[in-house]
Amino acid sequence: MAEPLLKHKNEFLQYLAVQRNYSPNTVTAYSNDLDAMLEYLAEYYGCKISELDDEMADYLALRSYMGFLRAKGMAKTTMSRRLSGCRAFFRYLGKHELTENTAPAVVSVPKADKHLPRFLYYPEMEALLNAPDLSKESGKRDRAILELIYGSGLRISELVAINVGDIDFNAGFLRVIGKGRKERIVPVGEYSINAVREYMSARELPCVKGEALFLNNRKGRLSDRYIRKLIDKYTEQAAIKQHLSPHALRHSFATHMLENGADLRTVQELLGHSSLSTTQIYTHVTSRHMLEVYNKTHPKA
């Protein structure tokens, strides 16, 4: 018996949030991807979204959807993510015996182009870290933020979730809540610890354990968007020509660790990657850096 897709979509999102502990941002991304697929299928069949059932997501319809996305000039990585969300949805339906449709599992997309992550060289990293004005509370906060992202390889979502008390100043460790609400403990370097201490000493509001460590101008927890604007601001002040995402600081952390002799497994643990293959991209980055240094410095290069 055919099942209504719209109803099960909402059940699936609830499953991701409650049972899989996915972050609100991740659940929203899944919701947006499924909405896009449902909208296309409704147009493809000339019906309302509420009238779609699981059998209508057949091989030909999904191949047509992929062709539609390709014609729009969508990046291969985005297409792959859209289809991955669709597959996860139908795996959920199959697991709960709500469908026998296996078409999404056999629809393929072009392999995504591999892009090496952007990172900063040491002088650029130093310039960025030194950009905040330490005569102001906001400058001390921003310096602590940059030091922590780079010093411990944090994701932005992990940084904004830090509470007062998550850092053990004596042991030099930080408790982090990563993807899938997984907790990990990461080391915090001396520079980061000193920067956080300076900010906490200058903070107008008392530092109450369990409350947000980094506050915005309205004394609330910082948002991911705020951090992106902050990094754009200091990238410009430091005269760094390339556009940086907040993730570039995390990439820099991993790249510099490997360049200085860290093994891949250790970097994987520090970054909180579930798979070593995710971390292996940094070996390509360090190889490229090695070649650049060789070409610049060796007299016979």
Q: Which of 106, 130, 148 is the last residue of a domain?
A: 106
Query: Would residue 82 show up in a list of annotated catalytic residues for this protein?
Result: no
Mean pLDDT value across residues 256-278: 81
The answer to whether residue 280 is domain-embedded is yes
The answer to whether residue 111 is domain-embedded is no
Domain count within the chain: 2
What local confidence, expressed as pLDDT, does residue 261 receive?
A: 81
Among candidate residues 30, 92, 150, 282, the one labeled active-site is: 282
Residue 9 structure tokens: 């979509």
Whether 296 shows a pLDDT value over 80: the answer reads no
The answer to whether residue 81 is domain-embedded is yes
Question: Does 146 lie in the same domain as 101?
Answer: no
Separation CA 162–CA 176 (nearest Å): 7
Query: Would residue 115 show up in a list of annotated catalytic residues for this protein?
Result: no
Question: Does 154 lie in the same domain as 190?
Answer: yes
The answer to whether residue 278 is domain-embedded is yes
Query: Would residue 273 show up in a list of annotated catalytic residues for this protein?
Result: yes
**Residue 94 lies in domain:** 5-106
Question: Does 145 lie in the same domain as 280?
Answer: yes
CATH code for the domain in which residue 155 is found: 1.10.443.10
Question: Does 270 lie in the same domain as 152?
Answer: yes
Buried b (16+ CB within 10 A) or exposed e, 132-163: beeeeeebbbbbbbbbbbbbbbbbbbbbbbbb
Contacts of 200 (CB under 8 A, 6+ apart): 164, 207, 213
For the stretch 116-138, pLDDT in tens is 668 888 899 999 999 999 999 99
Whether 1 shows a pLDDT value over 80: the answer reads no
Separation CA 104–CA 59 (nearest Å): 7
Separation CA 38–CA 96 (nearest Å): 20
Mean pLDDT value across residues 241-245: 81
The answer to whether residue 237 is domain-embedded is yes
Question: Does 276 lie in the same domain as 134?
Answer: yes
Query: Would residue 284 show up in a list of annotated catalytic residues for this protein?
Result: no
pLDDT-derived band at 112 (thresholds 50, 70, 90) equals low
Question: Does 179 lie in the same domain as 70?
Answer: no
The DSSP call for residue 204 is S
What local confidence, expressed as pLDDT, does residue 170 receive?
A: 92
The region, left, alpha or beta by phi > 0 then psi within -120 to 50, assigned to residue 51 is alpha
Whether 301 shows a pLDDT value over 60: the answer reads no
Give 106's Cβ-side CA count (13 Å radius): 8
The answer to whether residue 117 is domain-embedded is no
Question: Does 259 lie in the same domain as 215?
Answer: yes
Among candidate residues 82, 140, 155, 251, the one labeled active-site is: 155
Q: Which of 77, 106, 135 is the last residue of a domain?
A: 106
DSSP labels, 209-248: TTSBSSB-TTSSB--HHHHHHHHHHHHHHTT--S---THH
Question: Does 257 lie in the same domain as 222?
Answer: yes
Angle (CA) 65-70-73 rounded to 5° is 135
Question: Does 174 lie in the same domain as 84?
Answer: no
Question: Does 167 lie in the same domain as 46?
Answer: no
Q: Which of 106, 134, 162 is the last residue of a domain?
A: 106
Query: Would residue 221 show up in a list of annotated catalytic residues for this protein?
Result: no
The answer to whether residue 140 is domain-embedded is yes
Among candidate residues 63, 179, 184, 203, the one labeled active-site is: 179
Separation CA 53–CA 65 (nearest Å): 16
Task: Give me the sheet containing 183-187, strands edge to edge.
Answer: 167-168, 173-177, 183-187
CATH code for the domain in which residue 39 is found: 1.10.150.130
What local confidence, expressed as pLDDT, does residue 27 receive?
A: 92
Give 232's Cβ-side CA count (13 Å radius): 6
The answer to whether residue 77 is domain-embedded is yes
Among candidate residues 8, 250, 251, 256, the one labeled active-site is: 250
Mean pLDDT value across residues 43-62: 91
Question: Does 231 lie in the same domain as 128?
Answer: yes
Query: Would residue 243 show up in a list of annotated catalytic residues for this protein?
Result: no
Share of the chain above pLDDT 70, in %: 90
Question: Does 140 lie in the same domain as 267?
Answer: yes
